[in-house]
Structure 1
Amino acid sequence: MAFIDKPLFLLLFLILSSMHFVVSLGLTDAEILLKFKGSLSNASALVSWSDNTNPCTGDVSNWNGVICLKSSVRGLQLEKMGLTGKIDVETLKGLSDLRTLSFMNNGFDGPMPELKKLRSLRAIFLSNNHFSGEIPSDAFEGMCFLKKVHLAENEFTGAIPSSLATLPKLLELRLEGNKFTGKLPNFSESNFESFDVSNNELEGPIPTTLRKMDSKSFSGNKDLCGQPLSHCSAINTTTTISTSSDTSTSNFNTNSDSNGESNSKKPPLASIVGVGIVLAVALAAIVAAAFILLQRRKRTSESIEAPPPPSNHQKKTGSKELDQSQGGSSSEQPLTGGKKAEITKLSFVRNDRERFDLPDLLKASAEILGGGCFGSSYKAALSTGPVMVVKRFKQMNNVGKEEFHEHMRRLGRLRHPNLLPLVAYYYRKEEKLLVTDYIENGSLACHLHGQPSMDWATRLKVAKGVAKGLSYLYRELPSIIAAHGHLKSSNILLNQSYEPLLADYGLVPVINQEDAQELMVAYKSPEYLQLGRITKKTDVWSLGILIVELLTGKFPANFRPQGITTEEHLASWLNAVPQEQWKNQVIDKEISGTKNSECEMLKLLKIGMTCCEGDMEKRLDLKEAVKRINEVKEKDSDEDFYSSYASKGDVKSTTEMSDDFTLS
């Protein structure tokens, strides 16, 4: 090796490394599981795991503890096997169809594995091991499909991770027999089929949403109180969305222990009289304070030049007395109450929604939907009926007030069946609120990577709807370089008929540049990484990645805020698979069996690959991309086309194959 100079040696090293990278992308389920087995100790129970057989044949498992569906590994049920060692999550990431993990009744110890890297999991069973230490608060962040979490009978300490309370589909939570401390997270809804936090060291009030649970679910926590256990001496009962200062209320309860165990004798009469006097004075003070607060609030509201209350007709259809030229509501007019009054006002940009203000949102029943790139989103059910979503932004503090108002009014004028409409907004220098409708059916990401799976016809419908919405944005917002700027599956909502609605669009001009570069999808594009700029074709790249995600069912890790992970870049992965194997290895197994549709699927996949071409010169422009997407049909026009093409054994570029399929 001494005669090889350094540059040549480095070149050879890079070539060998890249060859290893390409080969590693093609690991089979068997190879992944055998690598995972190597991280375990005492794995004698896994003797059937051998490279001489496949783990799955259809729905039948050939390997002990492997759950199979359609020849794919859907779960690992490695229970009561005496296993120890490390649960290698990084290796398990290669099992794209993995949905269930169960390692109950083994000897694993140490901290809980970073299972949030396996975002498609539906069930986690780690009970009866020796796991210990604190679980990070964000340990379950982003696992929107998770339904069952069993961590019972371990040695976990610290607070119960708050991210558990943000899981929208959670049905079973078993945490009994640990050493969890602190208060229970504020679960926004209680749809639990199984819930148990008994025999821990929890304290404080039980959230109202959990008070219908059996008392056995909370037993063994001596400092836990509230229904269905004994009353608390002081309970914080208010949970609101706050944009300026935190508010809380406390109820003072003087009921003594009903069992009377703490007093062996009855208190003397003088003590009872004394306590009665103290209570009477305290009650009088509370009434006086409440009266003073009400008078102050009344004087404050009288100082605001509020518009007259709307009629019943206006409540349903929205106020007609709007400045139609600006698209804003009367709440944008100057207020004589000054800054205090301005805090409570929302600016409406639509005429067809019921009017409400910030206090109405603060009083609404609130549910945290999750924390996205920009901040938290809340579902607010107003007392008058409408359900809204309030999204908080702290990355817009560099934009001026008038500029922000003008841009929001501009977005408010957009009308298209594939756009989630902006309803109202709130401006404060430190943070902004955007208010939209609540779409109950959820995001494309949750449907695409969750259950039930999406069929081919629905995925094609989504692709065409997204293309139409994106085309409309570019017609209406020609001055914005990337009219959407943040296009990804979690920012596409699906209505009841599975028509896609684009969300978080048109924000590039108002997001702080430094935050945009770190968080927004447009700034993950090849042109920004290579040239430091985004272009009119940047959203086309995002559209291409989305189409590949739709067809493969794989999540694009390069859209995560921390940047591109090359090994998981969808386009790189797809290019590394021989094209003649795309039908069997690339197309999502949930749709690959759709009869008489494989040519059209491959046609759309080639369009997607041409859209996310790294070379902008080779990348389609938006108009051509939309045209080609709309030409894709649900059924093949020639069933034998792909078969005859594959039989030629030709190897062509992505662009050439895209052209071939469009000709059909």
Structure 2
Amino acid sequence: MAIHFLLSPPFLILLFFILLFLFPEIIRAYMTDSDALLRIKKSLNDPQSLDSWKIGTKPCDQVIPWAGLVCTNGLVINIHLRSMSLSGHLDFTALSQMPGLRIISIENNSFSGPIPEFNKLGSLKALYLSMNQYSGEIPAGYFSEMTSLKKIWFDGNRFSGKIPSSIGELPNLVELHLEDNQFSGKIPAIGQRSLESVNLSYNNLTGEVPPGLARFDAASFEGNPGLCGAKFGTVCGDPIPKKPKPNEKPSKSTRIEYALMAVSLLILMLMIIGIFVLMKKKKKKDKSERNAMMGKDNLEGSVGLTICSISKPSAIPGQSSFGTGQTALITKKKAQVELMMLNNSKGRFGLADVMKAAAEVLGNGMLGSSYKAMMSNGMTVVVKRLKEMNMVDKEGFEAEMTRLGRLDHPNVLTPIACHYRKEEKLLIYEYIPSGSLVYLLHGEGEMRHSELDWHARLKIIQGIARGLGYIHSELAILELPHGNLKSSNVLMGPNYQPLIVDFGLHRMINTNHVANALAGYKAPEAIQSRQVSPKCDVYCLGIIILEVVTGKFPCQYVNSGKGGTDVVQWVRSAMHEQREGELLDPDMGAGSSRYVAEMKKALRIGAACTESDPGARLDIREAICSLENIQGGDESRIAMFPSFGDTYGDAASTISESSYKSWGGESKDGRNDSFGYHVS
């Protein structure tokens, strides 16, 4: 009976409609990033620029990745389709099935119509729609569910109606750009403390600027004739004064009022002029003091190329506001934007070449963002936009960059050019295609990771130590010569040759950002008392040594303290319990007892470099000697660093006997040293 019912036409028809209803959900549940992206491509009108998006290939392939994508751990986190001549209607069913998606960047294309349903993607952190043809009103509650959103760039479209009030409810909003649209009405209550950049210019807005936005200058609101308030020199809500009749003479009281107003205005003008003169004198004094501190006399030999940008503000996120890809040479009589060359060995180029280059986002950090730029001459560079470096003026900045550009060591990557702007600074480096040490150790490239045997790792550790030693000798004047040493700031050259970057910036970074932004401030003494010294760099070197030998990602790199392994405590506990063998990364292929012994020596050196007491911690000279001697290396390498004696003195005397013995040393006279120490 039951079988007859299951085979009856009414039941089969009902089953058909149930499956038809559930089919999209079933497909969606098994949709991969590749499937979702191919559906997005299919929804576009002319996706020729996405030819690399093909069935049978991987979006995040290490050799030939799909164009316009940024990946992390095999997941697409950023769809970056800027300036690809795209149009159509994006498939949001597909977009919603990409769990790692955090950034959508489709600026400078030909998308049109009402705003798409991006608000269904609640995990988005940045949404860039600049320079398209979107139009119509945006619903007031459009952003209500997008609580993770930090950046909104809708400029250069045709949006109309009121600015959505739900923007004011976004708790993490950092950048808001709605300029060059047709928004009208009053500005809603927007004023999050997190906001760093706002531009509502060239719309049809009216009324008073909300108090929360009053800290932004008038340029952020220009082109809105209906706005009023002190920022615009008008008072909101004032009735139009009654004009006297042509033959009507002002009364005596009116004349007195006019006279008082004139005198008041004169006094006010004199006060403003006086304040301006005093501020100018103070600024000049501060400027001379900063120049003296930063070494202004070191500017000789710098090369500048003068160019200018089109006056219209940038609408392309990922570029600074002085460059939208449109640049032109100017004469010295006009305002100048200079690119300062620090090293001509890689060829000469200008800021115009950089801004016209095809750009690819490499990553974002505490200090700014990094972009890969391929210029028309075939040269590829990395451009770093640094926003938290307002502790120095133009002369001081260029003096410091000149100092850094003169460094020359096989394990140090120096900037080849720089640019100063009050709001941000640009550092330009040679592009290193192999990526960073952190990617090599913890990235998704399993094949490359398996090739990282002990010989390669030891070479990397020794190279980092040599490069750091060179930096300490050449920048001995700095209390924190590197300041930000971590595996993501070690790039990998050919044959596992490490290249240290992002050094020597400590004094230029805003004081309220250094603790979170710089790895050197993760040393115990810096955390407890904000006391920094070259020993903080040694602590960071020790973290890298432990990271390389164990293969674990250190929690010391994570500001929140969540995630990663406390390699210092883990190694310390295991070594005291004589469980060193459990610490070694199994991917190294430790096939012989000799290699295991060398690995354990490296662990002990890393542990000695991360002593919580800086007085008991190794100094850079000892660390280099110890690492060189792991395989019976040549101690004469230390002669490359002649200024160590002046910088550290006899640092060996600062190491306690108990600390030294705890990591495997028998005595400090060199008779029996399992580290291979030889302290001269």
Equivalence for 1:167 = 71
1:479 and 1:248 map into 2 onto residues whose CA distance is: 46
CA displacement, residues 518-548 of structure 1 (integer Å, 9 cap, x when unaligned): 2101111111112221012111111011100
Matched, 1:661 2:669: no
Label 1:569 to 1:210 Cα distance change in 2 as closer, same or farther (>3 A): farther
What's the offset of the Cα at 1:187? Answer: 4.9
Secondary structure, aligned partner of 1:514: coil
**Structure 2 CA distance for aligned equivalents of residues 474 and 367 of structure 1:** 33
Partner of 1:589: 586
Pair 1:578–1:336, CA change in 2 (3 A): closer
1:327 matches 2:327: no
Change (3 A) 1:361 1:341: farther
- Structure 2 CA distance, aligned partners of 1:247 and 1:414? 43
Per-residue CA shift, 1:198-243, capped at 9, x if unaligned? 74589xx9969999xxxxxxxx99xxxxxxxxxxxx9579xxxxxx
Q: State the TM-score, normalized to the length of structure 1.
A: 0.51
Deviation (angstroms), 1:553: 0.6
Contact 1:553 1:588 survives alignment (8 Å): yes
Query: Counterpart in 2 of 1:225?
Result: none
- Residue 605 of structure 2: SS of its match in structure 1? helix
Contact 2:552 2:564 in 1 (8 A): no
1:425 aligns with 2:329: no
Amino acid at match of 2:301: G
Q: Of 485, 496, 499, which aligns to 1:498?
A: 496
Identify the residue that residue 186 of structure 1 maps to in structure 2.
Answer: 80
CA contact (8 A) 1:551 1:587 kept: yes
Give the deviation of 1:557 after TM superposition: 1.4
Write the distance in 2 (CA, Å) between the matches of 1:573 and 1:397: 38
Q: Distance in 2 between matches of 1:598 and 1:489?
A: 23
Q: How many correspondences in the alignment?
A: 381
Change beyond 3 A, Cα 1:656–1:209: farther
Instruction: Say which of 461, 471, 474 aligns to 1:473.
Output: 471
Report the 3-state secondary structure (helix = DSSP H, G, I; strand = E; otherwise coil) of the residue aligned with 2:531: coil
Structure 1 residue aligned with 2:518: 520
In the other structure, the counterpart of 2:543 is: 545
Specify the alignment match of 1:139 in structure 2. none
Alignment of 1:570 onto 2:570 = no
Q: The residue matched to 1:435 in structure 2 has which SS? A: strand
User: 1:186 corresponds to which letter in structure 2?
Assistant: H
1:346 is paired with a residue of what secondary structure?
A: strand
- Match runs of 1:126-137 below 5 Å: none
Task: Tell me by how many angstroms 1:656 deviates.
Answer: 3.2
Q: Distance in 2 between matches of 1:500 and 1:189?
A: 35
Deviations 1:639-659 (A, max 9, x none): xxxxxxxxxxxxx96743342
Structure with larger Rg: 2
Flag the 1:594–1:201 CA change in 2: closer, same or farther, 3 A: closer
Q: Return the letter of the residue paired with 1:662.
A: F
1:27-42 → structure 2 map (5 Å cutoff): none
Q: 1:433 deviation in Å?
A: 0.3
Deviations along 1:270-311, one digit per CA (max 9) or x if unpaired, are xxxxxxxxxxxxxxxxxxxxxxxxxxxxxxxxxxxxxxxxxx
1:371 Cα deviation (Å)? 0.6
Change in Cα spacing, 1:166 to 1:189, as seen in structure 2 (3 Å) is farther
8 Å CA contact retained: 2:607, 2:663 = no
Q: Deviations over 1:462-495 (max 9, x none)?
A: 1110011011111111110111100000000001
- Give 3-state SS (helix, strand or coil) of 1:414's partner: coil
Partner of 1:391: 384
The whole-number CA distance in structure 2 between the counterparts of 1:382 and 1:620 is 44
Select which of 402, 406, 411 maps to 2:399.
406
Shift of residue 576 of structure 1? 2.5
2:481 alignment counterpart:
483
Paired residues of 2:629 and 2:676 also in contact (CA < 8 A):
no
Give the superposition deviation at 1:560: 2.1
Deviations 1:303-331 (A, max 9, x none): xxxxxxxxxxxxxxxxxxxx997231143
| Candidates 419, 432, 442, aligned match of 1:439 | 432
Residues 109 and 132, structure 2, Cα contact 8 Å, conserved in 1: no
Instruction: Give the distance between the partners of 1:248 and 1:354, measured in 2 at CA.
Output: 36
Shift of 1:148: 7.7
SS state at 1:185 partner:
strand
Q: After superposing the two structures, state which structure 1 stretch, 587-596 or 504-513, moved more.
A: 587-596
Residue pair 1:597, 1:634 contacting (<8 A) in 2 also: no
Closer, same or farther in 2 for the Cα pair 1:235/1:124, shift >3 Å?
closer
User: How far apart are the structure 2 equivalents of 1:125 and 1:577?
Assistant: 43
Q: Residue 355 of structure 1 aligns to a residue in which SS? A: coil
How far residue 559 of structure 1 moved from its aligned partner, in angstroms, is 2.0
Q: Which residue number in structure 1 is paired with residue 554 of structure 2?
A: 556
- CA displacement, residues 146-174 of structure 1 (integer Å, 9 cap, x when unaligned): x789xxxxxxxxxxxxxx9431675x76x
- Letter in structure 1 aligned against 2:613: D
Q: Does 1:361 align with 2:350?
A: no
Tell whether the 8 Å contact from 2:389 to 2:509 is kept in structure 1 after alignment. yes
Deviation at 1:416, TM superposition (A): 0.8
Partners of 2:35 and 2:580 in 1: CA distance:
37
* 1:620 corresponding residue in structure 2: 618
CA distance in 2 between counterparts of 1:626 and 1:493 reads: 19
Contact 2:630 2:676 in 1 (8 A): no
How far apart are the structure 2 equivalents of 1:461 and 1:627?
A: 14
Q: Unpaired runs of 5+ in structure 1?
A: 1-103, 109-122, 128-146, 150-163, 176-183, 191-195, 212-219, 222-233, 238-245, 252-322, 636-651
* Paired letter, 1:585: E
Are the equivalent residues in 2 in contact too, given 1:236–1:248 (CA < 8 A)? no
For 2:344 and 2:455, locate their aligned partners in 1 and report how far apart those are by CA, in whole Å: 35
Letter in 2 for 1:584: G
Name the amino acid aligned to 1:528.
Answer: A
Alignment partners' CA distance in 1, 2:508 and 2:575: 43
2:596 equivalent to 1:598? yes
Q: Secondary structure at the match of 2:483?
A: coil
Q: Aligned in 2, Cα 1:481/1:325: closer, same or farther, shift over 3 Å? A: closer
Distance 1:566 1:378 in 2: 26
Contact 1:600/1:634, CA 8 A, preserved across alignment? no
Q: For residue 265 of structure 1, what is the aligned residue in structure 2?
A: none
**Is contact 1:558-1:566 (8 Å) kept?**
no
Contact 2:558 2:564 in 1 (8 A): no
Aligned equivalents of 2:494 and 2:83: distance in 1?
A: 22
Q: Deviations over 1:115-154 (max 9, x none)?
A: xxxxxxxx99999xxxxxxxxxxxxxxxxxxx789xxxxx
* TM-aligned CA distance change 1:512 to 1:198, over 3 Å: closer
Deviations 1:351-373 (A, max 9, x none): 21322222211111100001122
Letter in 2 for 1:383: S
Structure 1 residues 566 and 620: CA distance shift in structure 2, 3 A: farther
Q: 1:567 to 1:368 in 2, by over 3 A?
A: closer
The change in CA–CA distance for 1:606 and 1:358 in structure 2 (over 3 A counts) is: same
Check 1:410–1:333 CA distance in 2 against 1; reply closer, same or farther (3 A cut).
farther
Change (3 A) 1:663 1:351: closer
Report the identity percentage: 35
